[in-house]
Amino acid sequence: MAELKRTPLNAQHRELGARMVDFGGWDMPLQYPTGILAEHHAVRQKVGIFDVSHMGEIRVKGPQAKALVQHLTPNDVDRLKIGQIHYSAFLYENGTFVDDLLCHKVAEDEYLLVVNASNTDKDFAWAVSKAAGYDCSVVNESDATGQVALQGRLSAAVLQPLVDIDLAQIKYYWFSPALFKGLPVLVARTGYTGEDGFEVYCPAAETPGVWQALVESGRPHGLAPTGLGCRNTLRLEAKMALYGHEIDDTTHALEADLGWIVKFGKGDFIGRSALLEAQSRGLQRKLVGFQTLEKRDIARDGMEVVADDGRSIGRVTSGAPSATLGCNLGLAYVPIEQAEVGSRIAIGIRGKACPAEVVPTPFYKRAK
């Protein structure tokens, strides 16, 4: 069995008493002694700090960097300004997902792509395999890069005293270089929780110092260390897709309700023909949000969506009790005729067809 990879903050998690788990080959904190529920509420009400140094960073740079990224991804890189970020993906020729990602425009000829930890090697190999003939470099900077996320309404109050830039000038899905106590970093106003927040990129060796400075700055604001458990419940409430659950190599962007990242009008990109064909045929299924109607019925990942006669007609991709909303939520692929808000479906729980209703998403949206 291969040894688990460790982020530069592994020792800090263990000192804090974190429960560590195997997450895509990484030794990561699932939760700290306070528990997932308390961590979830800390992010929604105040501020939490996450180790996201396991994420992958791929830099594309050179005269034809933009052309390559346009070819590799369905969103329109032409629309990005320097310092701006958008959500996008790598797609296979059949339109399904290699991975989802964040694309940062660093310069006219330079892009930073942030990808999922468990897919980093696959994503890098995919990008390199498609780069032949393009005058640009594709470099995997993941091992050299640390990343710490602050999430919650008090994030700016925690980070502002430590950086030399005015965080109020950074809009959502924008980023800026900064000095963090004199250390060159990149500060992005992004996150995976549905809250306001920042992701700080730094040299891997400097990550423990960045973490500790944020912890100390956050102490007066009630900052809590937060793990993968609450990260999952927070992103579910915000209906943010997770690779291996809502998206993978069997699902495409249109049925995953991510058609907004597919810009057919920009010209050719990998997967375009297949997605146009899928659009022309009409969707057979769609990812929807649902709420179970009985308090005791908790949907979990992998459970079946069942018809009145007990037939399986779909699957739950993510499910959990909502700490914020006080009900049981889930995401599932269902036949298109049952995808309308208000449609009644049933989830197979403990051998019973438990009633649920398709509801609007995102389940939770923060107040501006």
Q: Last residue of some domain: 236, 264, 282? A: 282
**365 found inside a domain:** no
Residues 80 and 211 occupy one common structural domain: yes
CATH of the domain at 311: 2.40.30.110
Confidence at residue 1, expressed as pLDDT on a 0 to 100 scale: 64
Cα–Cα distance for residue pair 187/198, rounded to 1 Å: 7
Structural domains in the chain (count): 2
Task: Give strand pairing partners of 305.
Answer: 314, 347
Residues 17 and 71 occupy one common structural domain: yes
The H or E element containing residue 190 is none
Domain hosting residue 299, numbered range: 284-359
Confidence at residue 308, expressed as pLDDT on a 0 to 100 scale: 74
Q: Last residue of some domain: 282, 301, 317? A: 282
Question: Alpha helices of 116-180 — where are they, by DSSP H?
Answer: 120-130, 155-159
pLDDT tens for 58-78 read 999 999 999 999 999 999 999
Cα–Cα distance for residue pair 331/18, rounded to 1 Å: 28
**368 found inside a domain:** no
Confidence at residue 285, expressed as pLDDT on a 0 to 100 scale: 97
Residues 173 and 262 occupy one common structural domain: yes
Residues 348 and 229 occupy one common structural domain: no
Residues 269 and 354 occupy one common structural domain: no
Low-confidence ranges of the chain (pLDDT < 50): none
Distances (CA, A) of 15 to 12, 32, 145, 156: 5, 10, 22, 26
Q: What is the pTM of this model?
A: 0.97
Cα–Cα distance for residue pair 31/23, rounded to 1 Å: 13
Confidence at residue 206, expressed as pLDDT on a 0 to 100 scale: 98
Residues 229 and 100 occupy one common structural domain: yes
